[in-house]
Chains A and B, each alone.
Chain A
Amino acid sequence: MSKWSLVTKGFVKDNPTFVLVLGMCPTLATTTSAINGLEMGLATLFVLVLSNMAISALAPLVPDKVHIPVYIVVIATFVTVLQLLMQAYMPAAYATLGLFIPLIVVNCIVLGRAEAFANKNTVIDSALDGIGVGLGFTLSLTVIGLVREILGSGSAFGFKFIPGDGILAFVMAPGAFLVLGYLMVLFNKYLKK
């Protein structure tokens, strides 16, 4: 597999949201607007790339029976570092995402890539895989957030272009399920061959 396809397979073929259907908790909860989705995606990307690299470097040294605890400790470390960095330098983003940053630890995408890819590939390939899957996740969350924001608040990326209140349901949980479902249908019909 070429290096480039390691990155691009995360967008369509192995898209974590629409194809693998992983990480649904942050997907449904943080996509109330395009910006929130984008920020959540990038936060996950950060953790995914670093944890993939660390785990692919560590994997040969870790005894089988304790590999899951070791991976979780490594992932939790990067998540906490991210949390501290966001508190220090991006307090506004931290305030909106809040609880969902520490929850990246248990995001199936991160542990899933560690198990399915990073522990049997080289550090560089694992980094590329992390970038690809992370960008795919970011893209999916941003699109879901954008659709929900347009329908629910009449704005896009915080820029309001439809006056009035919008369809409230789309900002709340039912809208998250509806938008995710319909986007998944469209995605699988037109993009995934």
Chain B
Amino acid sequence: MKRIRLDAIAFIVILGGLGLANLLNFNKPTVSTLENRMLKDRPSLTWSTLFSGDYFRDYEDYYSDTFINRDSIVKICRDIKDSLSLNEPGVTLVVAREQNAPVNEAPDTVPAPDGQIPSPATPAPSQDPGNLPGTQEPPDNEHTSEPVPTTTPAPEPPREFGEDETVAYYLIVDGKAVQLFKFNRESMDYYAEVLNKYHEALGDKVTLYSVIPPTNGEFVRLRKYADITDSQNDAILYLNSRLNPEIITVDVYDALNRHKDEYIYFKTDHHWTALGAYYGYRAFMEATGREPVPLDRYETVKVDGYLGSSYTKTLNKELEKNPDTIYLYLPFTDHEYTMYNGNKAETADLIDMSYAEGSSDKYLIFMSTGGATWSVIKTDVHNGKKVLVMKDSFGNAWVPFLLPHYEEIYVVDARFYSKSSTGLNIPQFIEKYGIQELVFLFYMEDVNWAKFMNGVENHLK
């Protein structure tokens, strides 16, 4: 054998060719529409990043993130893996992993975006990527962002949020993605402990509600695989037994269960639909002894072609073929919605159609991302009632239904609230605005995630 062999030639040509192609590809993408996330930026070279090794790690992430034709390559890999499966058609278990997590991010740097792509219409200034709201919930989101006030560079010490291994399991049955729930007693106890602490801190002046939307795992028919996910109803019952009896528990579970054949959850996203949120709102009304507004009072708008977080995480083909439709119920109560980012106030639309177009995550329509440091909705219902909703992204579809019942609705996302920009912890916040009711609305995976609840506890201090 005198000549160089075929594979050696291919080796040189392919690797050299790819290297050159990447070198000459000047218009590197900054976002992945497929995965709905910001791609890694080219790291900046400084002595400190060089010596800590961060520069090299970041460069490797940047290089693979911006690799030529990355999106199509990712899809080809998925197809290869799918084709090897021996499961009955329509059933897949996907182990999803957070993709955009920097390996070692220095705590004082601006956090990477929360896995979201800003819509072109996003008013959020570019130097403030940390405040993009998360519709991707913490358990499958490696680093929940610090809130970064627009005007001041993150002065707050970093909270201990998600540094553990983050793996989420999705079962996809008949075109519906279900994130598997694993009951964790310690986390449940911690949730109860945190809420009881709030109750202790706030005393009798404020009524506390615990609203826990389950995930769709409870309601989707899982065929013979029902035992794969733990009962969230049992978890809720367990929780209720640990909560101070003066905290009012709202039975969202039962309300949703009665309508489980309706379109109450997205198929390709882990959130509930506005319809599901409406049933959650009805349960809340029942618990507070108020009359819910019937759904037909609302004018509806339809947004087609939504592929949500579960699709993004799994890139599953069945999901891709069955995108969701978002039905929106437009508020009829006159109101003004103000979002505070750091010290900056901006009015926004509660149902923000600028997120309906393009490739952005369409769930961001609800409450115009819902990702402010805090926000307030003032209505023309002059009944003097004021509520604070401490929520995760499940709250974004739910809060708009409260409008007919309150004069002022304060909204705090547990992940984005920051004492450093308001100067108030939550009890002080409640005191300052004369709030009478406090609603905790976190979906089951956040309730089951101690690090998330740790953030909630920190807002007490």
A-B interaction: no
* Residues of B in contact with A (beta carbons under 8 Å apart): none
Binding site for B on A (CB under 8 A): none
